[in-house]
Amino acid sequence: MDRIAIISDIHGNMPALEAVLADIADRGITHVYCLGDLVGKGPQPDMAVDCIRERCDIVVRGNWDESISLQQERPHALWQQERLGAERMQYLRELPFSHEFMMSGRRIRLLHASPQSLYHRVQPWDELGMRTAMFANTEWTEHTDHEPDIVGYGDIHHTYMQHLQHRQLFNTGSVGNPLDSPESAYVILEGKLEQQQRSALSVQFIRVPYDIEAAVRLAETADMPETVPYVIELRTAVYRAFHKT
């Protein structure tokens, strides 16, 4: 059986990313896919980008990855841009929108937010039509003759899994900014890569504790704009409406 670790929403939080990657390595998993939002919010976006580029087989673009390089007025965005530099921001802008592959006879789609847009947020409690639209083929996805059987995404920082009309929708949660529990989250897919015939496949949710106070100290000593709401989110896993995510 093949195993893939799927991580998302790092947000420049290196203590969390290092803890998750260590857990993945301890399990002997060598394939790591990232569903975007490497940057924004946290104090080490440059290190997060460099680490993800080195460790991940597949990386797709998140809304923060795209928007950080476009914002010219918000102090937080300018602060992030200074640390990232031109080459990393170009890398982020050029990341693919989605990734599709076969595993154990299922077509799997991975993306950051939704097939409609990087900025179109889908919650587990949204009406059924919004959730089933996650399986649609759009101009942004990889066009195929068939819609996916399984869709995994990030963006909302909440882990969940639902079965919708014989298809499976799951959210990985967040590594660096979880909003359902202070512990980092990621997903393991286990099955047979590129196999066309149906066989056993599992989706496993993992929670990883990390040194939150170390992440807080890094933010507080970095003289980063909007540190206070970021620290509150890390400690409480409660969303603070101080900027768009």
Q: Yes or no: say if 192 and 1 are a contact pair by the CB < 8 Å rule.
A: yes
Residue 215 lies in a domain: yes
Predicted pLDDT of residue 237: 94
DSSP strand pairing (106-111 vs 98-103): antiparallel
Tokens of 61: 């673009």
pLDDT along the chain (245 residues), means of 10: 98 98 98 98 98 98 92 87 96 97 98 97 97 96 88 98 96 98 98 97 98 98 94 91 46
Residue 35 lies in a domain: yes
The total of other beta-carbon atoms located within 10 Å of residue 2's CB is 15
Residue 22 lies in a domain: yes
Residue 131 lies in a domain: yes
Residue 242 lies in a domain: no
Phi/psi at 19 (5° precision): -65, -40
- Domain of 75, CATH number, reads 3.60.21.10
Structural domain for 42, as ranges: 2-236
243 vs 46: CA distance, rounded Å:
20
* Chain-centre distance for alpha carbon 130: 20
105 vs 67: CA distance, rounded Å:
36
Residue 243 lies in a domain: no
Predicted TM-score of the model (pTM): 0.95
Residue 244 lies in a domain: no
Residue 241 lies in a domain: no
User: Of 62, 117, 120, 115, which Cα lies nearest the Cα of 92?
Assistant: 62
**Total structural domains in the chain?**
1
Tokens of 222: 């970095």
